[in-house]
């Protein structure tokens, strides 16, 4: 891609036009994504604008996620997927992850498979510490084996 000259204000404006999307902003400026990224890292005001736009996008996404989790008109599967996404990205420190870290761990960890077997009310109870992770794991195991007592055969 041929290089084109641009100044700090033009870079900031391109980032604002694209809501911080560096690839699209670079296209507007006629440069590569890497060139604009390097420029933004070397230019504090451009980097600050880029970072601010990124945080604003994350804030909007969190708002959508909250709506999905609490929205009464949102289908249950969408709420479940939103809860799983939130727990596996933001709840790792509480043991929510796709794969347990080790098999020998002493703490109880819920996997995505476990979360998919819990109802919305049970997920909320775990989040609010009204249901322990150990109990949630037992409920999930019982549903997995289709036995109400949780014992496997």
Q: Would you call 83 exposed, middle or buried from its count of C-beta atoms within 10 A (0-12, 13-18, 19+)?
A: buried
Other beta carbons within 10 angstroms of residue 125's beta carbon come to 16
pLDDT of residue 113: 84
pLDDT of residue 146: 64
DSSP string computed for 4-36: ----HHHHHHHHHHTTT-HHHHHHHHTS-HHHH
Dihedral sign computed on CA atoms, order 138, 75, 72, 85 = positive
Kindly state the tokens that stand for 145: 């084996």
Per-residue pLDDT of the chain (153 residues), as tens digits, is: 456 689 999 999 999 999 999 999 999 999 999 999 999 999 999 999 999 998 888 888 788 888 887 877 878 777 777 778 877 877 777 777 765 544 444 577 888 888 888 888 888 888 777 788 888 888 888 888 765 544 444
pLDDT of residue 4: 63
Dihedral sign computed on CA atoms, order 125, 130, 136, 138 = negative
Query: Among candidates 126, 119, 113, which has minimal Cα distance to 76?
Result: 119
CA distance 68 to 70: 6
Domain spans of the chain, in order of start: 8-56, 75-145
pTM: predicted TM-score of the whole model, two decimal places: 0.52
pLDDT of residue 120: 84
List the Cα angle 66/88/70 in 5-degree steps.
20
pLDDT of residue 104: 46
- CA torsion angle for 15, 53, 82, 124 (degrees, to 10)? 180
pLDDT of residue 150: 46
């Amino acid at each position: 891609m041929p290089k084109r000259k641009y100044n700090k204000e033009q870079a900031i404006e391109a980032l604002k036009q694209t809501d911080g999307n560096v690839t699209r902003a670079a296209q507007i400026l006629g440069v590569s994504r890497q060139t604009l990224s390097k420029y933004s890292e070397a230019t504090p005001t451009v980097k600050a604008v880029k970072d601010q736009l990124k945080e604003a996008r994350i804030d909007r996404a969190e708002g959508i996620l909250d709506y999905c989790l609490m929205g009464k008109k949102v289908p249950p599967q969408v709420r479940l997927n939103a809860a799983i996404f939130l727990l596996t990205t933001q709840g790792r420190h509480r043991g929510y992850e796709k794969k347990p870290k080790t098999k020998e761990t002493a703490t109880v960890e819920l996997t995505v498979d476990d979360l998919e077997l819990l109802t919305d009310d049970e997920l909320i109870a775990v989040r609010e510490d009204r249901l322990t992770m150990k109990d949630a794991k037992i409920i999930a195991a019982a549903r997995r084996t289709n036995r109400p007592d949780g014992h496997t055969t």
